Every structure is written in structure tokens, then in C-alpha cells.
Amino acid sequence: MRELPGVGVGRGTASGPVLRMAAPLGEPDQTPLQGDAASAKAAVGEALASVATDLAKRGVAAGGDAQAVLEAQALMAQDPSVLDDVHSRIDQGTNPERAVFEAFKAFQDILSGIGGYMGERAADLSDVAQRIIARLRGVSAPGVPESETPFILVAHDLAPADTALLDLEKVLALVTRDGGPTSHTAILARSKGITAIVGVVDADSLADGDVVIVDSAAGVVVTDPTAEQVAEAEATRAERLKARTAPLTAGALKDGHAVPLLANLGSPSDAAAAVAAGAEGVGLFRTEFLFLDAPYAPDVASQKASYVELLAAFPGKKVVVRALDAGADKPLPFLTDKGEENPALGRRGLRALRHHEEILRDQLTALAQADAETEADLWVMAPMVADVEETQYFVDIARELGIRTPGVMAEIPSLALLAEQVLEVADFVSIGTNDLTQYTLAADRMLGSVASYQDPWHPAVLRLVAQLGSAGAASGKGVGICGEAASDPLLAVVLVGLGATTLSMTPAALADVRAELLNHTLDEARAMAEAAVAAPSAAAARAAVAAVSSSL
């Protein structure tokens, strides 16, 4: 028996036989162009259009986060600069398959060189190229293998198009060699509630037919398990499934201490599914969907219509909207500076909005108008706020434009260190644990090579959360969690023990978190939190909390 470590997604457990993803298509040969260039270009154009259409259809079928990912891939297939490069290579005598391969490879190299979020997208571009080449060859694109029986899918990585449409009756869990906690595989697995472990360095050692246990809570793949271990894993899986089908109740600890469970959403169309999953409101509404594909910022009227649709789905409930957060992973031509060497530390979030205040004013105006026409309890927060001065700037302009409850996100350690002063100005603070971890540990959250540092269990991160929680309690103001840390059920209990008043997460995690909260009282949560912050490392914090939990 061996344990292969990786980055777990969620807390699911699964056991079963391995089935590996088929190998990618071979690299096209360099045989010179046969026939005329015009026909070759036409064939490439037809292949690109077909692939783009197929990806878009898959997106519509998948919905949610998957739809946004697949639509982005469809746009890659139609990128005019890449098509121009393909045409140029064909004009120079390169065959169509090779021209597509070389043009997309050149684009991939550019993205990989940029790193961060754009580097992660290089893998998506490779998948698009493979699909186009397969179309030119008249063969099926590499994809998820078919099986009559359930299996554990193992791959170097999964393309968004494959992850989005997995048959969850057959695919028990995912194991990938590549990827980090914020790779598309992890994001989509989390949003669909799929048990997964990414970044398993030794995944290539797994062969078809090997029986393994995938324990995403522990972040390990157990090879050659005993019959007893398999039975235990199956019992854990059954217990988790039972909890996920339990009646929907308001989030609370065992002693009745209320912990509202909210949803992280990226589009108004996701609201109905969140409500069905038991979301008591929205803790993070990402407004980027309105801006990402636009050559310029949308006007007040178009923004208002989307906000009205969102707010109308949550009458009488809290809806926390984040002002436009563009920058490192979401560059916008009308907002983001070009050529920043390290955009994660550049002009993004509130910094970018302050530099283009008219965009911020339009957004806040649209939100205030939507709030006036609906019955939700609208809260609005600014992203990437560093200190009290920036807090005051946002709160002042928000109140001026009619926002009743303005707040800020705690993503930069400096804001946590100034928490008491910040909460004298802001009405609330919401902790973005993804970025807070990134900046505390100096580890790009989009970079797989430092994925091990991107762990919100780290005591340094938890101590910052504790400081924010203490300031919130002293001021009588809310301190929410809207990062992925809230999706980890045991960590969610710790966060409540540190002073978090609400938890917001992907809707797929709501059932697991609700069930875990009901196992602990507030005093127990505080004891678990105390053990976590006293630990010397993230792994030690997990172990310490597990020990405290089992002793209670």
C-alpha cells in the first residue's frame, strides 16, 4: 500500500478501479502542403468553426461555471490572431494540421511565459488545438474513456470540455497529475461536487485496473488498499451522500448558534440552483461576467437589468455583491494596465476602479437602482483593499451613490492587521481566503508549482482571520468568509471558531458544511480554532483540529 499525495478538492471519498485518459493525438508531421492554400485554409476555417460550435453547445448543456469555461475555449478556437498565424503558415507551405499545431503552440508558449492565470489557460489552448486537428483528420478528439462500470478517472489533466460533461454515474472520482487548487479541473470538480485530487505527482504510476481509494479530504490516493480500507471508504461515501440528501435547514452549530450559509455565484442564472441547494443568500456575487467579453464597460441600464434579475431571486435575503475585480486573472482592455510584470501585485481590484472611477460609479449606480426595485438585502464590497484610506474612499463613494451597506474584502494582510480601524469605517468585512493565502504566503494561487503553499489551513492565514474576527466582534459588525476555505467542512467549523459570522461557498459544498456544523458547539469550534492557530504548519493544523474534534 502507498499513499500518493496531492491537492484534494472537497471532502469526498471514493474507491474503485482506475481507468486512464487516452493519450493525446500525436504531433502532426511536417509533410509539405498538398494541394492549394485556399482549400487548406477553408478546411481549417470549417474545423475551427465546428469545434467552437461544439464547445459552446457543451457549455450550454453543462451550465454554471462550466459554461463560462467552455465559452472561453470556444472563443480561443475563433481567435483571429491565431487564425491569421495559421493562414500565414499555410501560405508558406505548411500542411493544415501542422499549421494549426504550430500556431496554437506559439500562443501556448506566450501564455506559459506570462504565467499565473494565463499560464493555466495554456492547457485549455492545447485542448482546442487537439480538437481542431482531430476534426481535420476526421477522427474523434481524445476524451474521457467509456466504460460499462464505474471507475476512477486518471489523467495528466482534464480539459474543461471533458470535466464539464462527465457522467457522474460512472466517474467516481478524478485524479490528475497536473493542476493546482485553482486549475479549471479543480474549479469545475468543486462546482459539480466531484471527488477529486489534483497535482498528484505520481499519478503516472497508476495503471488501468488498479484499485485505489481517493480521499480528497486527506488529499491522498491510496493504492492497493485492503478490503477493510475499501469497506471503510465506501461507508464514508455512503454517509456523505446521506448527509447531502438531508432536509434543508438554516446553517447552525449543534448548540443552535446561527451560521448563515451563503452561495458564491458568478451569474444570475445560477441563483435558482443555489436556492435549491439551501443557500440562505449570496455571500459573493462576482460581477465580472458582465464585463469579460465586452470591448468597453457596459452601461448603467444593462448592468441594472442583470442585478435586478439576481436580487429578485433572493427577496428578504442578504446578497453581497463584489465590485468589478479585474487584473491578474481577468484582464480587461478598458480597465487593466498592459505589460505589468506581476499583475497579481499590480493595479487590480479597487486600485484599477479608482484609476477609472467612472466605471466604479456606473456600477454602484446600477446596483443602487436595482436595489430600489427589489426586496433583497443588498450589501456591496470592494475587492483588494489595502488599508483604512482605501476603505474610506470606497465607503464614501458607495454611500454617495445610494448603497446602504458598503464593505470591503480582506484579501491583503495589511487590511487584516488594521481590522479594528477598517471596521470603524466599513459596515462589514468579507474574507477572500484564496487571495489572503496567496499574499500571506507569497505563492501565486494560479501557479501549480507552488500549489502546496496555497493552503488556507496555514496558521499564519488563520491568525489573520482571527484578528478580523476579533475586530468584528468588538465592533458588532459582520465578518464573512467567501473564499474556497468555507467549502472545507472541518475548516468551516474552525473559521466560525475564529469569529466568522457567515460562510459563503460553491453551492455544491453547502450540504457537507451544513452537516459538519451540526456536529459541534461554539465552544468546541473555538477549541478547534485555538488548536489550529497554535500549530506550526498547515498539515499540523489539520492534525491538531482532527485530534481535538475526535476527543470532544
- Active site (catalytic) residues: 184, 482
Name the residue among 191, 190, 183 with its Cα closest to residue 122. Answer: 183
Q: Which residues touch 256 (CB under 8 Å, ≥6 apart)? A: none
Beta bridge partners of 151: 171
3-class SS at 218? Answer: coil
Residue type, 246: A
| Structural contact between residues 503 and 283, judged by C-beta atoms closer than 8 angstroms | yes
Name the residue among 181, 278, 308 with its Cα closest to residue 503. Answer: 278
Q: How big, in percent rounded to 5, are the helix, strand and coil portions of the chain?
A: 50, 15, 35
User: What single DSSP character describes residue 279?
Assistant: -
Beta bridge partners of 504: 262
291 phi, psi to nearest 5 deg: -110, -25
| Count of helix runs (H) and strand runs (E) in the chain | 21, 16
Q: What is the largest CA-CA distance in the chain?
A: 77
3-class DSSP string for 375-435: CCEEEEEECCCCCHHHHHHHHHHHHHCCCCCEEEEECCHHHHHCHHHHHHHCCEEEECHHH
Dist. CA 417–CA 425, nearest whole Å: 15
Name the residue among 372, 363, 366 with its Cα closest to residue 394. Answer: 363
- Beta strand 196-198 with 211-215: parallel, antiparallel or unpaired? unpaired
Residue type, 333: P
Angle, vertex CA 114, rays to CA 112 and CA 120, nearest 5:
50
DSSP-H helix ranges across 245-387: 271-276, 300-312, 350-355, 357-373
Name the residue among 145, 203, 212 with its Cα closest to residue 178. Answer: 203
User: Which cell is 367 given?
Assistant: 446596483
DSSP per-residue codes, 45-65: HHHHHHHHHHHHHHHHHH-HH
Cα separation of the two ends of the chain: 31
18 phi, psi to nearest 5 deg: -80, 140
Count of Cβ atoms closer than 10 Å to residue 189 Cβ: 27
